[in-house]
Structure 1
């Protein structure tokens, strides 16, 4: 793509990349969605459908979507089909995993450590439906949040070339050490290489602030209560919190809350990330419900950003309609078409 400047949808590419990256530690099997022939990704599309229909359920009375489910019409019909596709995908991955872990000798069996083993060996998840639901939840969490964030990040960087320059300047000493050590062609960066790069992390945080991959937070009221705002809530009520809106409030983030400004995350000397409490910046939730994969997600995104920006110039194709999709995940409705060009260094 970089050699021929062929336009491509970075959202689809990130979806394929993260789908494979999520499935490998889960099943010890590579779905190969990122292979050169770009196979159909029915399971990934089915995951998108699940999130879109979940969003629609929130926007209508329960009686409406339950009626559609009973009649098997509209979005509920699509959801049923998506569940079938996902069920077939999980079954296929489990079968491929069994083949890959078959005995390799008379008394020797290959030891494979993966996440699915925990479910298979745990009696609490012996029920097939529960186990499948847990697997799908993991795939959603691992794929959607990272892939969506990277798409919005690359879009914003194309609109702010000065930020790209700062990140490259920060990467330069690391790249120089790699070249001196014998690295050739395109450089990749290990997590330890870029752990101390504060502006790179600040850019990632600023993307998560303005474009939270999970823009809604849903809570069920356990008992009658009064919120700090004075609003009364009753047991069984559903509270819908717009995380997207809280990230764009002047009272929380200042008058420049709508500006894409990674520097807001830096301390005055610019050498460290400024502390922001998790209840203000809910990118990875807060308290006991803090995302277990937070550090892994940050590591994955930073290594992708560093490799792309150091090796390529990124250009957005003009004339696109950039808008979010109505979904529980803040994807772009029409994707994002980019062009890459190998940097002259």
Structure 2
């Protein structure tokens, strides 16, 4: 009788799996703030065990390490990340030596769905796109269009929906409500189309769902060695398959929008829809390439839709958890007269500090140098900035850093305190500071003033609120609340 010996591959696979399983068990017993650099697999097992709580895990690591930590992935994987939340490093990289730290090719490949849009662009391409976007966004006609769209959506859609939910005593996902609200407004501002996703039946909009799938897949790319996700992309497996499918839905929606807007432009359709950014880009350059329009409008869509909706969700979550702060806010909104709502602005800044809609940034390195924190960076190193973690560093924001305390933003003279952008990074910093920062605050104030005056939210007992694993800081389980009318 012949004896068939197992092949080398058959022996190797169980060995590798057993080794990984042992590392996983070890990782579960490793105390917070510790990462073991294993032979061959590097620090990946510790990351894998904590991937579900990535942002808080970064806080556990960066606190004891002095705000900067070098993460090493498996050998030969090219996974080498310098993770930091040190304001001195951020100021140096985003301001002082800006040109030495571009987005870089690794960033562009991670975010390949944005094409050559402003998110991925560097150097001359970035400068040209930024100037053009700034010119269009600051036009009085567009600013008036923003105000018109925001007030219409608040008065005729958001408030009636909340009143209906209050009367029916229904449990609702408030994050979903705000994401639909900001999605509708951003579609109107960018494409001149109202998808009407903010409706009592909460219909699923494929374009919005596709954006969520894409953002989750992109974050996953940052947590695994590049060769792994690139292989999955080539084979269209797992999250990369979801990303590919989402990409098709996104492309189809934008292509149809561009086609329709160009037809309207050719027919000289004169209505309020022509105030959209897509129309402005087409009118500015009638020969604009569809690929450029696609990449530009997608970047604008992500910048407006996700960030506003998520910021509103975390803001009202913090009000629910801090009734004393909520009472101060409502008092100001109801009895503040014609004065500028200082406490409202302070509360918005504080919510954005604790829960920045974009919780991290990344940069490449052109020339080797030492950072203010002392670490040496070289070409090939990817630098990751944890904005979420910076808010939770006592050395940056004080011993009460983890508390929701709008008062930290109010000066002795009763005005809103200014904090440098490299410390308050919710709108980026330096030359790449968000162009829509002013518009964002206008929209946030418009919603909060209308909603907080009339309603209070009550979080459903037992509902767990925690960050979702995504590029945008959404809540993993949403924000389940009951909407209650305030006393007149």
Tell me the TM-score normalised to structure 1 length.
Answer: 0.88
**2:162 counterpart residue number:** none
Cα deviation, residue 34, structure 1: 1.1
- The aligned residue for residue 154 of structure 1 is 316
Q: Distance in 2 between matches of 1:114 and 1:10?
A: 27
Larger displacement relative to structure 2 (68-77 or 231-240): 231-240
Match of 2:412 in 1: 268
Are 2:365 and 1:221 equivalent residues in the alignment?
yes
Show CA shifts across 1:187-241 (max 9, x none): xxxxxx67x1110011111111111111111011122221111211112321011
Matches within 5 A, 1:90-101: 90-97=254-261
* d(CA) in 1 for partners of 2:446, 2:411: 23
Residue 97 of structure 1: how far off its partner (Å): 3.7
> How far apart, in 1, do the equivalents of 2:170 and 2:264 lie?
36
Query: What's the RMSD between the two structures over aligned residues?
Result: 2.0
Which is richer in helix?
A: 2
Q: Who is 2:441 aligned against?
A: 298
Q: Deviations over 1:98-147 (max 9, x none)?
A: 566674xxxx7426232113433566994433321221111111011111
Q: 2:374 aligns with which of 230, 235, 254?
A: 230
Mapping for residues 160-239 of structure 1, pairs under 5 Å: 160-173=322-335, 196-239=340-383
The structure with the largest alpha-carbon Rg is 2
Note the residue ranges of structure 1 that are not aligned, 5 or more in a row.
178-192
Cα 1:243/1:329, change in 2 over 3 Å: same
Aligned to 2:18: none
Structure-2 residue corresponding to 1:285: 428
- Evaluate the alpha carbon distance shift between residue 109 and residue 304 of structure 1 in structure 2; reply closer, same or farther with a 3 A threshold: closer
Matched, 1:18 2:18: no
Match for residue 58 of structure 1 among 208, 222, 237: 222
Note if contact 2:262-2:282 (Cα within 8 Å) is conserved in structure 1. no
TM-score normalized by the length of structure 2? 0.63
Which runs of 5 or more structure 2 residues have no equivalent in the other structure? 1-164
Once residues 225 and 277 of structure 2 are traced to their aligned partners in structure 1, the CA distance between those partners, rounded to angstroms, is 37
Cα deviation digits, residues 233-285 of structure 1 (max 9, x gap): 1123210111111111000000111111111111124x111121111111111
Distance 1:268 1:109, change over 3 A: closer
Residue 261 of structure 2 contacts residue 278 of structure 2 at CA under 8 Å; is this kept in 1? no
Deviations 1:297-320 (A, max 9, x none): 111111111111111122111111
Structure 1 CA distance for aligned equivalents of residues 379 and 300 of structure 2 = 29
Please list the CA deviations of residues 38-97 of structure 1 after superposition, one character each: whole Å capped at 9, or x if unmatched.
Answer: 321211111111111111111111111110011111111110000011112112333444
- Show the counterpart of 1:190: none
Q: Which moved more, 1:234-243 or 1:125-134?
A: 125-134
